[in-house]
Amino acid sequence: MTEQSSPVFQFSRMESLLRGRRLRRLTVDGVDAVFVRDPVLVRRILVSDSKNYGKGELFRKARNLSRVGMLSEDEAMHRHYRRLANPFLRSTKVDEYVPAMRDIVRDVVSSWRAGDAVDIQAEMCRITCTISVSTLIPGLIPETTHALSERLSRLAWEMIRKPLYGKSAARAARPGASKQLSQARREFRELLASCIEDLPNHPEETGGYLSALLADSDEKGNRLLTPEQVCEEAVMMMTAATVTTASVMSWALYVLSRNPLVEERILKDLMRSGSAAPGQGAPSYSLRFLMEVLRLYPPVWISCRKALSDVTLGDHSLPAGTNVVFSSYLLHRDAEFYPDPHRFDPDRWTSLNPSKVDASYIPFGIGSKGCVGEMFAWQELQVILDVVTQEWKLGTEPDQHIRTAPETTLHPRRLLMVPRPR
């Protein structure tokens, strides 16, 4: 049976359509697809049978994204770009970034004025973009780092708000429709390209991500990537890293403002030593808090794959070319795995661990296509949470209603918060 979903994605409607079913044929964004809500089957798609699935072509916006590097359909190219990025994102390297991360967050939040409303999402973009530029492109003069960070911040903010679904996405995909996004992307790329062009003049700067991409060569010494490809891959890496973290941190600060007891426990917990990422020992309360934020508000809220050949999924035979859709938002709110699933409860993670046998918790994806920057993101979230909450108490207007916006990321539609000194 095929149902026609509404022009704007509605989670409650999708939950209703899927109730009692783990797999169902639906029309999503005008495309026939199979929607999967069984986390065991989702894990099969992403891990054990991943070779049978490629990137889906469901959402109009996704068709406009670059397909170079880690977004390439070519598996060998994907793995190659991933290996190039990994040395700058592994946990031991990320630990080295922490002092710089703290300084950046302090610098941004020190500009806030008590009692003056702050656009939290825009500020989280400033923070995450400055961290991204400063850590992945070291050695730049301060003026260039600042200019790159500001341009990346504008690009990230436009990316977050770009519609992903329905008629609004179709309109935004028309040539010339997204003028602000196009301008922000062009301005960031132009400055980044000039930095790439200047790198050969500074051979001593060999430790950064851009340098690694530019210096990548085959066994004969021939460079594998053109400056244009280096620029394209860096743009995708840095926007992906910033838009997701900025959205998650915006939700985290909003949830804190609505839960005074949770905020009190966070402050006490942050007085102690730092906490490990999930799977690396018992999680502290602050980490459990972030895990719960990511459960309820996963930034990558929906995904699509396409069957590359005839496949069997559960009891269903799917022909090659079938679009297979799944939503981490819905998986994370399945009552079978999470009792009282819509309640915010960090303590549920004292007895729960992210499963290794299913996809009931996938805020960063899983398998070979999982987020290469997961360790970077966990550390960054904890640093931002620590610095912001110890400097400021943030509040919203009592009657302010925050809407959930499922666009490029799952973010608050508009979040103004008022800082008060601790």
Question: In whole angstroms, what is the distance from residue 117 CA to residue 94 CA?
Answer: 32
- In this structure, is the dihedral angle defined by the CA atoms of residues 28, 360, 348 and 285, taken in order, positive or negative? negative
Place of tokens 């991360």: 101
CB neighbour list of residue 264: distance below 8 Å, 6 or more residues apart: none
Q: Does 129 belong to an annotated binding site?
A: no
Q: What are phi and psi of 417, to 5 degrees?
A: -130, 150
Annotated binding-site members for heme: 371
Annotated binding-site members: 371
